[in-house]
Amino acid sequence: MSVQVITQSFVMVLPRINLRKIWIFGFILITALLIFYIFQIGNITQTSFLISQHEKEVVLLSQQNKNLEFVISQTGSLASLEDILSSFNYEKVGKINYIQILDGTVLAK
């Protein structure tokens, strides 16, 4: 067999590929991937911003917790605790009233 016969049989088996369709498909694929990449970068940026905000909140809450632990360790007694609670404008509880529910009722109007 000659090379020409092999080439002709190979060309007959494969369908003819239109180069213009390949270029259009490639352009559409690259454009879609670029748009996807842009949205992913935006999502990553937003997520990293939220993480940094939450880390700041964690640091702030940790500092407040340490301050409260220090205040509690300084109080030491119930007498000084009453003074601290009065500075927070808490009121002393007088009489406690409980809600009485009848035995057979689930819902009352």
Distance CA 74, CA 69 (A): 9
One-letter amino acid identity for 9?
A: S
The reported pTM is: 0.45
pLDDT tens per residue, range 8-46 = 665 555 566 788 888 999 999 999 999 999 999 999 999
Q: Give the separation between CA 81 and CA 88, rounded to whole angstroms.
A: 11
Distance CA 38, CA 46 (A): 12
Structure tokens given for 50 = 């939220």
Q: How far apart are CA 52 and CA 59, in angstroms?
A: 11
Please report, for the chain, the start and end positions of each structural domain, with discontinuous segments joined by +: 3-78
Please tell me the distance from the alpha carbon of residue 54 to that of residue 77, in angstroms, as a whole number. 35
Q: What is the pLDDT of residues 37-46, one digit of tens each?
A: 999 999 999 9
